[in-house]
Amino acid sequence: MSQTARAVAPNTLRHVMLAAAVGSALEWYDFFIYGTAAALVFGELFFPKYDVTVGTLAAFATFAVGFIARPFGGLFFGHFGDRIGRKPMLVATILLVGGGTFLIGLLPTYAAIGIWAPILLMLMRLMQGFGAGAEYGGAVIMAVEYAPPGRRGLYGSFAPLGVTVGNLLAAGVFYLVTMMSKDNLLAWGWRIPFLVSFLLLALGVYIRLRVAETPVFAEVTAKRPPLRLPAFEALRRHPRNFLVVIGARFAENGLGYLFTVFGLSYVINTLHVSREVGISGVMLGNFAELFGVLFFSWLSDKIGRRPVYMFGALFSAAFAFPFFLMVGTLNPTLISIAFILAIGVGGGAMFGPQAAYFAELFGPRLRYSGFAFARELGSVLAGGPSPFIAALLVGWMAGAPWGVACYVILLGLITAFALWCGPETNVSDIRADTHHDLVADGAVPAIAALPNLDR
């Protein structure tokens, strides 16, 4: 065990975990607030020239636009996070994400400025996406690089816990504003969740400014110089791990948005269940995910990241048809149970161990770039388009959900295959350069009898 790891005091660890959780909560509060607004009101406010279905599709398209900027944000902030430190990038990304959300709450609608309203909305989404491209990755790396050996899965779970808390806050705030009359909601009530995000932004910045640089980054940079192009080196030295991250995102990220964003829209707009029932189901699902993330992260420290993650992907695929059968009953209890199982069990089993797993796949001098860039490429392919694709499939099938169920199965199988191809990492040394990195740097000859730390 590293001396640095022993030196981290318990109160410092608690502060770091809070910083990781609060930042992630803000980021995903912002994104889920937007997704919920896209499902419920943005079609009417920013795309009123279309009918309800087309307007909702257009709103989901702007939701997807934010994902286009994420890989670029991952490249930019990951590069400097590996070269100058984790902490300054974490402050910058939270400012971009939170600032973009707050400004959405101030935007005029189509009725006020016409076509400029959706254009400005897309610009704010791009701003959010650029910051979010490295926000979550940085929060995870901070938590994992501070974590005691043998507990990286559990400590790394504080960042995904923050994501779930952010989703709960978003659903809760929107639950309150949807109690308004529809006229008041469309006139001004929808702005409240976006403007309230300023409080989370201020808290997140304050906490992160008080966190010191991670001991792993300080230790590694004292021994070896930073890489000139860490993202390129991550792809060149670890192509398999890079592709594993992208593939592992398909079910976790795609279904994370499909069930919470499209699922909410489907229950309310297609099945015509009340908004209160739909939002309550999503809230209960995310509340269950809090426990799922903690349990499955702890379990991944015991039995490995891959088997736990693969269980989540395969469970999600197996539950695809049952989910839509349950919500199709229109029974509020069965709707809630469907969201609890889909989000709490399937999502929790993937999202929990993912944090530590992705961080462990890359060496410390290219971890931020490799993690953030690969993860956000997966977001573009999976999370961004999933609500749009699902809504399109339902439209093509005249309201029937079975095409979406097949899409869920496809995402689950892609992720399970990617994980089957990947290495196990739960006992690796997170401070050590991999054998591939040492050979590439010329630190050891290629035939040196060193263990391959990728496996």
pLDDT tens digits in sequence order for the chain, 455 residues long: 444 445 567 777 888 888 888 878 887 788 777 777 776 777 778 776 655 566 566 666 666 677 788 889 888 999 999 998 888 998 898 889 888 889 989 999 888 888 888 888 888 888 888 888 888 888 899 999 998 888 999 999 998 888 888 878 887 887 787 788 878 887 888 899 899 889 888 888 888 888 888 888 888 888 888 888 998 898 899 999 999 999 999 999 888 878 877 888 888 888 889 888 988 898 899 899 999 999 999 999 999 999 999 999 999 999 999 999 999 999 999 999 999 999 999 999 999 999 999 999 999 999 999 998 898 888 778 876 777 788 788 888 877 889 999 999 999 999 999 999 999 999 888 887 664 555 555 554 544 434 443 43
Specify whether the CB–CB gap between 349 and 305 falls below 8 A. Answer: no
Q: Which residues of 142-170 are buried (b: 16+ CB within 10 A; e: fewer)?
A: bbbbbbeeeebbbbbbbbbbbbbbbbbbb
- Torsion from C-alpha of 110, 115, 117, 121, nearest 10 degrees: 130
CA distances from 428 to 152, 158, 304, 454 (A): 10, 20, 11, 8
Rounded Cα–Cα distance for residues 374 and 364 (Å): 15
User: HEC string of 101-156?
Assistant: HHHHCCCCCHHHHCCHHHHHHHHHHHHHHHHHHHHHHHHHHHHHHHCCCCCHHHHH
pTM check: above 0.85: no
Structure tokens at 386: 């999933």
Domains of the chain: 9-208+223-441 (1.20.1250.20)
Q: Which residues of 5-25 are buried (b: 16+ CB within 10 A; e: fewer)?
A: beebeeeebebbbbbbbbbbb
Could you identify the residue written with the tokens 């008080």?
210
Specify whether the CB–CB gap between 391 and 262 falls below 8 A. Answer: yes
The DSSP secondary-structure symbol of 444 reads S
User: How open is the CA angle 209-293-142, to the nearest 5 degrees?
Assistant: 25
Q: SS3 for 230? A: helix
At 22, give phi and psi (nearest 5°): -65, -45
Strands (E), 221-376: none
- Reported as type and span, the H/E element at residue 203 is helix 191-209
